[in-house]
Amino acid sequence: MPLTSDVAQLLAVTSGGSSGGGGSSILGFLPLILIVGVGYLLLIRPARNRQRKALETRSSVEPGAEVTTTAGMIATVVAVDDATVTLEIAPGVHSRFLKGAIARVNEPIEEYGDESATGSSDGVPPQPDATPLDKTEPTTEH
């Protein structure tokens, strides 16, 4: 029966023989392994770095620092305990928060330089070409 032997030879050639079948299964998993690896490098690793940095920032908060809470409240740190911080929300108003409620530590605002550069003594930077919102001319008629 030559037909049966031809089919057997054809199957042996297409399947890579009886001894070479193990290598093709690893090649089948290679795209999946690459997707998981790239996903780890692009998603999981940066998120862990952000979490680590936020934890370091929360643990290094000291009294006198200005912080922003997760609710968006800006306050000054008055006291620090193991798990809580006492924040001064307004002059004389103190409230305790968990350290996890601190979203970030605000950087101090730098002064804009000397008064001659700003043109005013209140520390507000000059606004170039400030145009009024109301473009109508004032009238004296009543």
Average pLDDT, the chain: 77
Q: Exposure of 65 by Cβ count < 10 A (0-12 exposed, 13-18 middle, 19+ buried)?
A: middle
**39: pLDDT strictly greater than 80:** yes
Ranges of each domain in the chain: 22-105
Q: What is the pLDDT of residue 12?
A: 59
- Claim: this prediction has a pTM higher than 0.75: no
Q: Which tens digits make up the pLDDT trace of 113-126?
A: 554 444 555 556 66
Q: Print burial letters for 50-64: b (CB count within 10 Å at least 16), e (below 16).
A: eeeeeeeebeebeee
Q: Which tens digits make up the pLDDT trace of 82-111?
A: 889 999 999 999 999 999 899 899 987 765
Q: What is the pLDDT of residue 88?
A: 95
Q: Which tens digits make up the pLDDT trace of 58-78?
A: 888 899 999 999 999 999 999
